[in-house]
Amino acid sequence: MSSRSISFLRRWLPVLLWAGIILGVSSISDPFVVVPDAVTTQDETLGRFAHVAEYAILGVLLMRALVQKGRISLKLASAAAIGGFAFGLLDELFQSSVPERAFQLLDLGLDLSGILLGILVFAAVKSRG
């Protein structure tokens, strides 16, 4: 395997694995079954936080994959935001086919918020050195 292929895999494999985890959770009718009993399945705050957190991680991973040679640009951040939003849209559409799940605009907005947060966190950490 060439060094170019290895570099590509190092950058994009984490994105693909995390996207797979997101889709895996989306395929569960009640994703809160993995949460301890102390937390109810009706806890909307936890669900909202989960959307933002999982997509913030995706935003960081997308930026990590796109940024080469330490150069962050608005073009790369926009590509990460658009790609992350597109994935969130596909995820919501996928959820609409899962029993007891539905497409929700609020969730899509939370996904986008998470993506943008991840991009900002990546940029802040990268700018500090």
Q: Grade residue 15 by pLDDT with cuts at 50, 70 and 90.
A: very high
> What pLDDT is stored for residue 29 in this prediction?
81
Which tens digit of pLDDT belongs to each residue from 87-127?
999 999 999 998 888 889 999 999 999 999 999 999 999 98
Cβ-contact 53, 107 below 8 angstroms: no
| Per-residue CA distances from 1 to 4, 17, 64 (Å) | 8, 20, 22
Residue 31 has a pLDDT of 64
pLDDT in tens, 48-75: 898 899 999 999 999 999 998 778 999 9
* Predicted model pTM: 0.88
Domain boundaries along the sequence of the chain:
3-127
